[in-house]
A and B are shown apart, each in its own frame.
Chain A
Amino acid sequence: MKIDNDNELVRNFIQGDESAFNLLVRKYQKKIYWHARQMLGDHLDADEVTQEVLIVMYKKLHTFNFQSNLYTWIYKIVTTRSLNQIKRKKLMRLIPFEFSKENEIVSDYDIVENLVQKEKLEKVNLALEKLPIKQRQVFIMRNFDELSYEEISEITGVSVGGLKANYFHALNKVMRMLNEK
């Protein structure tokens, strides 16, 4: 039912119904944002990636082939864009004076207003930041996005066995880090 509804919305949008796109955005915007936020660790980057993903969706929805689920199609875009953003930031940090961590744009605004929750989130982000990208990705998709290994495999192209191994190592490290002191 959910898939049929998505496909119908995509068809309507392709036929020129802009409101169908808005409905799709409303449906997936939080999932997109939170995946990006967990991957990147802060609101500013997550916001940038979320907007990029929605623009790509708007431009490329006509290429959606209706063979896979729309959300796996969207997740593919989100993961690619998030990884690109991580690479971009790493590269920028290599340039000594132009862009160092101190010079990064710091914004006080965050959509998480509750301080206790914000603190928890930051603690998890610190642990996630220390994970290799593939482990971080599978950990976020399993724990926060609640995707099955099969769905993650379809999105990332990694075998289910490989994903299980990555998740095991990620879990081991995150738990150890969270339980330290």
Chain B
Amino acid sequence: MNSLLEQFLSEARDFLQGIGEKLMQLESDPTSTPLMAELFRFVHTLKGNSGLFDFPEMTCVLHASEDLMDAVRNGRVNYSQTLADQLLEAMDFVGSLMDEIEITGKTGSNHFATSTELTKALRALLNAHNAVYVPVAIETYTEDGLAVKAISWSELPELDLPETVAMGLYRCSIDGETVFWLEYTPEPECFFKGEDPFFLARQIPDTAWRHVILNNTSSTLAEMDVFSSQLVFQLLTIAPAVELDDLFRYVPDQIHRVKIPALAFVKPNGRKDSQAIDDDFINNVLALLDKDEIETLIRTINTMLELSSPELWSSSVLRWALQLVDVEPENKSAQRTLLNTLRAQTPPDWSSSIMEMNEPRDMVTVMPSVSVNLSELSDTLLRDFNVVINTQREILSLGGTWSAGRLKSIAATLLGCYRAVQKLHEVESIESALQLALTKNSPEPLLDWLNNSSASTQELVFTAEEAPIIVSNLATQNEVKFGRRTEDAVITGAVAASKMLKVDQDKIDRLMNLIGEMVVAKNALPYLANRAETVFGVRDLAREIKAQYAVINRVAEEMQDTIMQVRMMPVSFIFQRFPRMVRDISRKLGKEVELVLEGEATEADKNIIEALSDPLIHIVRNSLDHGLEMPDVRLAVGKSVTGKLLIRASQESDRVLIEIIDDGKGIDPEIIKHKAYEKGLIDETTLERISDQDAVNLVFAAGFSTADVISDLSGRGVGMDVVRSAVEKVNGTVGIESEVGKGTRLYLSLPLSMAVTNVMIIQSNQQIFGVPMDIVVETVRVPHSHIQRIKQKQTTVLRGRIVPLLSLNDLLASNVEQLPNEDNEFATLILRVHGEHVGILVDEFRETVDIILKPMTGILGGLAGYSGAALLGDGSVLMVLNPRELI
């Protein structure tokens, strides 16, 4: 996958997310214009970006969505739930396409049907609200083929065709081939879009004649702008129209394609000499033609050709006459017209004969006819119309030499505009103005016409203040058209000068690992200083090493801090998907739910956030499904119809607390108790004695969540053990509080970061171990006399509580007694495990250190008693215990 595509995918996901969010927000505030504009911009940019790649299905759906949003933005279509649903569905489709692209690098061909369906549905919404579907000319491609300006062959510039080529084309034409005149004018910025017009032009098959015109506006080479296309390609080709349209499908607006009638090629050329042919000869051949004596006619002409110089214009006429007689023997009128030109030596005028032959003008595409009055036209169209007209006016006011083609093209543009708005009565006046302009060879008549007609069509003209703005807009647009993305950025101002950097997580992880090693390596310095002093006896060196260590230590800590911050992510990353989820589920369940999100800016390590995502979704789904009641039930118990679901994140010292609170029916401990008893999770005595809170906590018990429980359980309980294990995996805890009829509060507490673990080093049986500080409650020294034995278990009373005591050596199955200190006291770690205090007897306490805990892999990975290992400053390995498993 190339990097451009990768970037597109990552950006597109952001956009999809944004679109979803905006739609949600619109739901509560359907009239907000800024929201609407933002939404449109998202869809618009996404569509534009998708156009860079060959994903037609995606672009198609996005294009339809964009049109719809544009209509909504301009108030032509009202925002509605169905509209939001449709748009969301379209975005889901785009999302699924993106998933596929991410995996396979392309989209499958099987999406075509879905895409068409979605597009149709979107278009239907657009049309249902607005009977007039106005194709906006600017910036949209025409769906229904090529909008080629209609030019008749007679308006074409003089073709300087060699006679042999012309004869060949004429024959082809008579033989049934269609000869097209193709003029391709690439837009000036096309080079910036990676286009090579010359290459495209060369791809045109069956080209009989080709020419390139350079519209060089600069007089010297130094002024020439090589990166702005000034070329016009002209060709004659007998390739089928479909093939041409396909070839130019990306630039349909840049080509003119005109079908050329056969006779148009019959154009004698050569040196004119009035003495060359006398009238007798002409009369003779015409008589022969009338008498249908073809053989004599051919012989006569051939004789004449032998006598006269081949470069003469008349010779050319005669050669053409032979061709006509040969190819179209029945077309006497054409032959006569041709031969008659010998008298005046003027080119044959075929227009009448071609009209006679009933060859219609070749209008490749008829613009979709829009039957509306101007007053009904949308503002957009009106604006576009005026922009085009104003541009024409500007062009006309430009100086310079005026070629016929330039005038004609302006007239054609005007004609197109007026036809599009159904002002057909203007067509004639434009044409007459054009004729006048052509004869005068000046733009004045057209300009006059424009000024007069604008005055007469008041409704099309903007007020005086608005018009200049449009013109200036146009001017700036022309300059920066190739920088569309920049343009978008300027519009919003939000993306401008982005300071964000997207980095692959692998790189961050690697950096973090390196910093971790740096921290460990740095810890070796104090040992070195110690050795310098004790082993080598150089005290000064030891002091210097220590000073250096202080500096390195400071930098390393700062580095560690910074990398932690880099890895921090706001919880909004997972919160942002809830509005959509809650909306969808509640809609499906027929419940009304108001979702409140709080503390979205709270940050935690990326791994924590990611580990949190699945459990949270699970919990929210449970809340919606089992917690909140149906609207009628809520009404019956005197609650508001709309249920409330609050998801709140907050930071408590070095932990993140996430609460999911609903005001549903709560969890009935009685039902839980009995279900647990039925499942064999608790025995009869527990059933009798268990407190309500403990009963509620049973939902976290493994095996509690089975299908039959869910179906008739009034609370939650679906896969809560999964939630708990997922949370515990990242050193988090989960708890639940519930009150029947009032609601349920579920809370997750998670460490902010799990990259650095603070452990306490203890010594036992001449080995050192680490114990995570977060479960150490306190360290005490318990005198031997205070240890009592209850059955086989050692216990002691600490601050009025009985604390069971376990020896670490026993837990690790090394058959050695713990060593007391000189006062016969045992070093005891009081740990909090599963909500209870437990004392662990060890030999000695050591310091606490920050370490980077590496989980053990391979065979060692199966040792549940250890949560991992870490390197210490002196290079030794510290095994970190996992007391939860150990005890």
Chain B binds chain A:
no
Interface residues of A (CB under 8 A from B): none
